[in-house]
Structure 1
């Protein structure tokens, strides 16, 4: 098949190209800077000129793009979008119902919400991972001192000064207190996301006054969705990661790998950022324990970071996400914690039980390698798109 690939700066593009070309497909990259826009005559023209008279069996992208979907519909090209980000506001575009769409979602809870709403173009499937890359990387020279840890966390603390939540500067005292209360309640609960239900009309009105949010005419995203996922969930994640990592650092040597060189977790060492392909797998493979603290907008899905950890043969200690249980066995393939106290106890336990820790890491790696490779992933989605 000839496959058009939207070549934006995404993770795993190399894996996609390698997998498709190894399977005998023609991989054709296309890029235009307006891919993120909902409307762009420049993009439409560039897409049409690029397509020309050439036949494409499908177009593929990581994440879903409204303007790409509409152009694929125009030229009757099947559009395969694989979601790995959360939140993904473009999923609430009217274009999602385009008959040429095949949108694969890693979060079963959000998939179920859309499917039950009558959207027939969405599918649930966990994200793929290149589980063989670590074998190749281990034959190369690398900075083992920097890319090793007793306990590591790779990710953002979402504490940048420009966060959406920090723009809510003119809220009345009642709204401030209300938001603080529901956020503290949500932090105590895993497996159920109730913030949108608690954003009452009065609260939404005050939020709108402080930082107005208007839906795009091409979408159906609600103010509850936007304020919950883009404002509150990121703040929740920031609070949760700060608290949990601070607690862990009291019990062990913790290394933080993050884009923000000024980020501080008391007792932890900030090692700076790591490059996705050339460095991050080493961290996962060479950390005794890899922590995953999911972004709160991911309701039930297995984050890409968690799959990458297991794919690199690392021991994964994660918060509870329901979708893990569809494909992995707790305490056999990975371990999840239920509270701050539980997290600290499990860190101490698995640091002192090396054989058990290595057995679990091995099991998770083997299961990912067997069931969640890019090859298996494309076999699955092509069986749906080209039955």
Structure 2
């Protein structure tokens, strides 16, 4: 197949995608978006003219992007070109469903919950495809920087939320309702409460309250409030987990979004800046005895890339519960999951004192993702959808 691989913003997996498309015998032409910033991802005639020029420059069989881009879908639909998108974000940042109904679309989400959500909205061309990991790439990275050694590490964002700002103009009742949602979700690792709790009536009530302010500066949609609450709960999850574990273990956080005033909330955690994905991150995964993955609350079911990268490096993963991790892996055999803060502490304590069990789990997790979570498998299956239509 001749594949137009359009790189919109660039992602961690783009290099692997290009490499494996070509390795599998396809003619993959990767074109970077040199058009520039596109404030409106749904309407931009100048971009469409530019993109359609790329589509028509050669006789392509399919267009491929990481994440779904409405303007790319529009350009492909105009010329009858099949468009495959594979999202590595959950939930997807798609305020509207415009263009998603096109029959030229093959929209893949790594989280099964996102597929179910869009099908409920009447979108037919959405499919489930878990992410992949290139274990050969990580095997080439030597873990020789011993400064990355630790008992426990977490690589990732702390998820700064807009919720405190949004609440400043809510009524006391509205604030109390939101706080109840937060508390309920914090207490439940196995069900996603937020989405159903944010009703149309609540949004109408909040926007009505916002409208009473003279500057009329705030309005909010249901997806925006849901995301804001999910980031807020995740923020609490991560800081609480780090604070608890750091009272007993050498705990490190590698991030770029923690304000200095919040350092005092986790005084025993050794806080570092952002690390490179290609060289430093895999060394951390290999040199940490336990790699934490408290999954973003908005991702209701799927295995995020971070979990696969940890296991693909041969690292030991301690993750919060997620449905698809529970279904595909076995807790205590090829991965480790915790159910709440106290359970996380108990399991960290157990695995820190049982090296043989911890190393066995890490090894089995590595072998599983190496065998079953390959790019060749994922790309072949996605392309098969086009071949069978």
Q: TM-score, length-normalised on structure 1?
A: 0.91
Structure 2: distance between partners of 1:202 and 1:101: 33
Structure 2: distance between partners of 1:3 and 1:282: 33
The 3-state SS of whatever aligns with 1:317 is strand
Are 1:191 and 1:300, in contact at CA under 8 Å, matched by a contact in 2?
no
Partner of 1:217: none
**Residue 187 (str. 1) matches residue 186 (str. 2):** yes
Partner of 2:250: 253
Are 1:34 and 1:43, in contact at CA under 8 Å, matched by a contact in 2?
no
Query: Residues 298, 80 of structure 1: CA spacing in aligned structure 2 closer, same or farther, 3 A cutoff?
Result: same
TM-fit CA distance, 1:298? 0.3
TM-fit CA distance, 1:202? 5.2
The 3-state SS of whatever aligns with 1:94 is coil
Query: Residues 164, 27 of structure 1: CA spacing in aligned structure 2 closer, same or farther, 3 A cutoff?
Result: farther
Structure 1: distance between partners of 2:224 and 2:248: 37
TM-fit CA distance, 1:34? 4.5
Structure 2: distance between partners of 1:204 and 1:232: 13
Partner of 2:308: 307
Partner of 1:283: 284
TM-fit CA distance, 1:212? 3.9
Structure 1: distance between partners of 2:144 and 2:71: 41
User: Alignment partner for residue 95 of structure 1, among 99, 108, 133?
Assistant: 99
Name structure 2 gaps, 5 residues minimum: 211-216
Partner of 1:28: 29
Partner of 1:76: 80
The 3-state SS of whatever aligns with 1:137 is coil
Are 1:171 and 1:206, in contact at CA under 8 Å, matched by a contact in 2?
no
Q: Between 193-202 and 205-214, report the one with greater CA deviation.
A: 205-214
The 3-state SS of whatever aligns with 1:205 is helix
User: Alignment partner for residue 118 of structure 2, among 114, 120, 123?
Assistant: 114
TM-fit CA distance, 1:334? 0.5
TM-fit CA distance, 1:23? 1.7
The 3-state SS of whatever aligns with 2:327 is helix
Number of aligned positions between the proteins:
373
TM-fit CA distance, 1:362? 0.5
Partner of 2:54: 50
Are 2:2 and 2:27, in contact at CA under 8 Å, matched by a contact in 1?
yes
Partner of 2:345: 344
The 3-state SS of whatever aligns with 2:318 is strand
The 3-state SS of whatever aligns with 1:5 is strand
Are 1:64 and 1:91, in contact at CA under 8 Å, matched by a contact in 2?
no
Q: TM-score, length-normalised on structure 2?
A: 0.90
Cα deviation code 1:133-176 (max 9, x no counterpart) = 222112xx74221x22210001111237xx35534421112211
TM-fit CA distance, 1:14? 0.9
Are 1:248 and 1:254, in contact at CA under 8 Å, matched by a contact in 2?
yes
Are 1:168 and 1:207, in contact at CA under 8 Å, matched by a contact in 2?
no
Partner of 2:223: 225
TM-fit CA distance, 1:18? 1.0
Structure 2: distance between partners of 1:167 and 1:270: 28
TM-fit CA distance, 1:307? 1.0
TM-fit CA distance, 1:75? 1.2
Q: Between 197-206 and 178-187, report the one with greater CA deviation.
A: 197-206
Are 2:152 and 2:251, in contact at CA under 8 Å, matched by a contact in 1?
yes
Partner of 1:220: none
Structure 2: distance between partners of 1:373 and 1:9: 20
Name structure 1 gaps, 5 residues minimum: 215-222
Partner of 1:148: 149
TM-fit CA distance, 1:328? 1.5
TM-fit CA distance, 1:237? 0.8
Are 1:257 and 1:274, in contact at CA under 8 Å, matched by a contact in 2?
yes
Q: Between 124-133 and 27-36, report the one with greater CA deviation.
A: 27-36
Structure 1: distance between partners of 2:201 and 2:327: 39
Are 1:256 and 1:269, in contact at CA under 8 Å, matched by a contact in 2?
yes
Query: Residues 318, 58 of structure 1: CA spacing in aligned structure 2 closer, same or farther, 3 A cutoff?
Result: same
CA RMSD of aligned residues (A): 1.9
**Residue 197 (str. 1) matches residue 207 (str. 2):** no
Partner of 2:368: 367
